Amino acid sequence: MKRSLIAAMPALFIMGGAAGAQEADEFDGETLVLPTLTIDAAQDEGLVPFASAVATKTDTPIERIPQSVSIVTEESLEQRRPQSMEQAISYVPGVVPAPWGQDSRFTQFLVRGFDIGPYGTFRDGLPQKVIGFSGFVMEPYSLEGIDVLKGPNAVLYGETDPGGIVNAVTKRPTFAPLRSGFLTYGPHDTVQAGVDVGGPIGESETLAWRLTGLYRDGETGLENSEDDRQLIAPALTWRPDDRTELTILTNFQSDRTTPGLYLPIAGEDYPLASGDLPDWMWDFSPEISHFDADMSSGGYLFSHEVSPGLVIRQQARVARQDTDYRDFYFNGMASDTEMNYADFTVDETAETQAVDTQAQIDFALWGVENTLLLGLDYSRMKVDTSRGYDASYLIPVDDPSFDFAIPLPGIYYDGVQTVEQYGIYAHNQSQLTDRLFASFGLRQTWVENRFDDHLYGADTSQDDQKLVWDLGATYDLPRGFTPYASYSTGFVVNTGAEFDGTLYEPTEAEQYEIGLRWRPESFNALFSAALYQIDKTNVLTTDPDNMGFWVQTGEVRHRGLELEANVSLMDGLSAVAGYSYIDAEITSSNDGDEGNRPALVPEHEASLWTNYAFQDERFEGLSLGAGVRYVGSSYGDSTNTRETPAHTQVDAALRYARGAVEGALNVTNLFDEDYYALCYPYGGCTKGDGRQVQLTVSLAF
C-alpha cells in the first residue's frame, strides 16, 4: 500500500486533466482579487465553505488554497450543539478528537496522525497553545466557526507540529440587532443557560457591541465529579469608515471539572481469575481529584486600508490562566494483585502575549497580478508551576477501597518557564495565467526558551532559529475542477542537550501534498480529495551508548488519503462526509520500535453527518439530523503491544422552530456504544463517553 499510495497521486491530476480536455473552451478566467482579512469561518452559509483566511491570512477562496483545509461553519455548530472543541471538529476527516478520552484539562486532538494540541491551537489567528497544564480551553458557544488547516504551516504561524493547526473564530459584534438565549438540560442533571446579544450602539453606524455568556452546573457521570463553567465575553467594534475597523475581544471563563479515569482490565492488566473491578470504580472519582481553572483574555483586531492596494492589519491578545489541579489516579499494576495509585498536584499560573502585524500589498508586475503579505509576529508564554507527586499507594484488586488519608505530596518541581518567539515572514500569491495560481512563502523565526529552577537553582536557557518555506499552485479547470500541489515545512523546538553537551536542534517536518477540489455548477457543494506524505526528522530517540540521554536520529513518516464532501441542496438536505487513511510508520528509532506504528494513530476513519429541513408547510420549522463516526483501532504506545479496539458511534439531532422559539434534542452515542477511548500497555484503559442526551429551548427576542 505504501508504494501504491504515492504512485496513485498523479491520478488526481489525470482526472482533472480529462475534464479540461473535454471542455477547455467553456472556461472563463477570473482575476485574482483577495479582499481584506477577516478570519471568519462563519461567512459561509450552510455547511458548504467558500473562503478561508487561515491558510493565507487573507480572505482566499477555497479553490485558491494549495493545501487541505476543512471548515466547521456556524450552521454546523448550531445543528450539532457540541459541548467541547473535540466534539466540534469530530466530523472533520483526518482529525482524531480526544485521543486520550474526554479530558476537560486541555483541548486535545490528532490531525493527520500528529498531536497538535500543544502547538497547533489558535484563536483568531493568534497562538493559544498549551503551556504546562494551562490549555486555555475554549467554549464552542463563544465561537462562530473553526478552520482546520492540515499539514505544516510554519511560514505564517511559526512553531507548529506538522499535522496542522485548528483556528477558532470568536463571535464578533454585528451591526444587525442580535438577541438570543437558551436553556439546556443534559446528562447527569447538567443544566446550562446562555445568552448572545448585540447590535449597533444606539443609532450609531460606527459602533457595535456583542455580549456572549454561559453558565453550566453539571457532572461528568462520576460520583464526586464536577463539570461547571461560567463564561462572559464582551466585544466591541468601531468602524469609522469603510476602510478602517477595530474590534476589541475579551473573554472571562471559570471551569471546575474532574480529571478523566483510567482503570486496569481483568485478563489484560492483571489475572482474569481475580475478577472484574466492581462497577462503582468506573463511576467514582476520589473527592480530592479536581481541575479548577480561571482564564481571562483581552485583545483586538485592527485593519486599515491606507490606499487602494495597501492594507495594514494588526491583531494582539494577552491571556492568563490560574490552575489548581489535583488527581489521585491509577498508575499501573504494582503486582498481579495490587494496583499502584499516585497523588499528583499542580499549582500554576500561565501568562501569554501575542501580536501579529501585517501589510497586504496588491500589485501587478510584468502582467502578473500579485497579493504580497509581509508580516512580523511576536509571542511570549510564561508559566510559573509547582508540582507534587507521591506514588506510594497500593490498593488490592480483589478488595479496592479509598478509605484512607491522602496527605498532600512532596514538591518535586518548582520553577518558571518562559518561551519567546519572534518571526518575520513574506507570502505571495500570484495569478500567472487565467487558470494558474501560485504561492510562495518564506519565514525566519527566533525562539528563546528559559527555565528558572526555584527548587534546585539549576537555571537553563536555549536559543534556536529556523528558516522555513512553502510553495504551492492551483489550476482552474472547466466544470468547477481545481487540482493543486504544494510543498510545506514546519518545526518544533526541543530543549536540552545530548550526552556530549550538543544542544538539541528543532524537530523538522516537510510535506508533499496534491489534491483535487470540485465545486459543481448545478448545486451547492464542495468535494475534496488529498494525498500527502509528511516526513518528521530530528525526533528524539534513546541514546544507545549513554543511558538516560537522547539523540536526534528518530524519524517518522505519515502517508495518507483524505476525502471530504460538503453538500447543501435547495430541498433542505445537507451533509458533511469524510474518510481518512493514514499509513504511519516510525522509520528510524533506537527505542526498539522502528517499523512500528506511532501511538494513537488509527489507520482508517470515516464519518457522515446529514441534516434535513422539512419543506412541506405542514412540517415547517422541523429538521432532523443524524451522523455516524467510525474510528479504527490504534495502539496505546509505539511498542504496539496493546491495541485500542475500533469503535463506531451514532449521533442524532431533532429541531423544531416556531416563531422566535426553537426546541432541540441532541444525542451523541445514540446506541450507548460501550468502548475504550484508549488503552495503555501498562496504564489501563479509559472508557469513552456513553449516550449523552441534551434538550435545549432557545429564544430569539
pLDDT digits (tens, 9 = 90+) for 467-485: 999 999 999 999 999 999 9
- For the cut 50, the answer to whether the pLDDT of residue 334 exceeds it is yes
Q: Which of 95-109, 219-233, 390-404, 619-633 is least confident?
A: 95-109
Averaged pLDDT score across all residues of the chain: 90
| Cell numbers that stand for 157 in this block | 504561524
The string of DSSP codes covering 6-40 is HHTTHHHHHHHHHHHHHHGGG--------------
Cα 53 from Cα 315, distance rounded (Å)? 14
- Provide mean pLDDT across the span 297-324: 98
Residue 295 C-alpha cell reads as: 482564564
Can you give the pLDDT at residue 495?
82
The SS3 assignment for 345 reads strand
Spatial separation of the C-alpha atoms in residues 27 and 640, rounded to whole Å: 52
Q: How far is CA 235 from CA 121, 123, 180, 208, 312, in A?
A: 21, 15, 16, 8, 22
Q: In angstroms, rounded to a whole number, what is the distance separating the alpha carbons of residues 627 and 101? A: 20
pLDDT of residue 241: 96
Confidence of residue 71 (pLDDT cuts 50, 70, 90): very high
Residue with the three cell numbers 488529498: 530
Q: What is the mean pLDDT of residues 181-195?
A: 96
Residue linked to cell 500528529:
114
**Can you tell me the mean pLDDT for 96-120?**
87
Counting every residue written for the chain, the total comes to: 701
Q: What's the rounded mean pLDDT across residues 505-523?
A: 95
Per-residue model confidence (pLDDT) at position 39: 42
Cβ–Cβ < 8 Å for 318, 306:
no
The CATH code for residues 2-700 is 2.40.170.20
Q: Output the nine-digit C-alpha cell for 347.
A: 499549582
Amino acid 632: pLDDT: 97
pLDDT at 333: 92
Comparing 32 with 696, the larger pLDDT belongs to 696
Please check whether residue 279 is in contact with residue 272, taking contact to mean a CB–CB distance below 8 angstroms. no
pTM of the model as a whole: 0.90
What is residue 230's predicted lDDT score, i.e. its pLDDT? 98
pLDDT band at 45 (very low <50, low <70, confident <90, very high): low
The model's confidence at residue 680, banded by pLDDT at 50, 70 and 90, is confident
Say yes or no to pLDDT of 4 above 80: no
Worst-scoring range by mean pLDDT, 271-285, 523-537, 554-568?
271-285
Q: Is residue 687 very low, low, confident or very high in pLDDT (cuts 50, 70, 90)?
A: confident
**DSSP letters for 556-588:** EEEEEEEEEEEEE-TTSEEEEEEEEEEEEEEEE
Which position has the grid cell 499516585?
342
Q: ∠461-466-471 over CA atoms, to 5°?
A: 160
pLDDT in tens, 637-655: 999 999 999 999 999 999 9
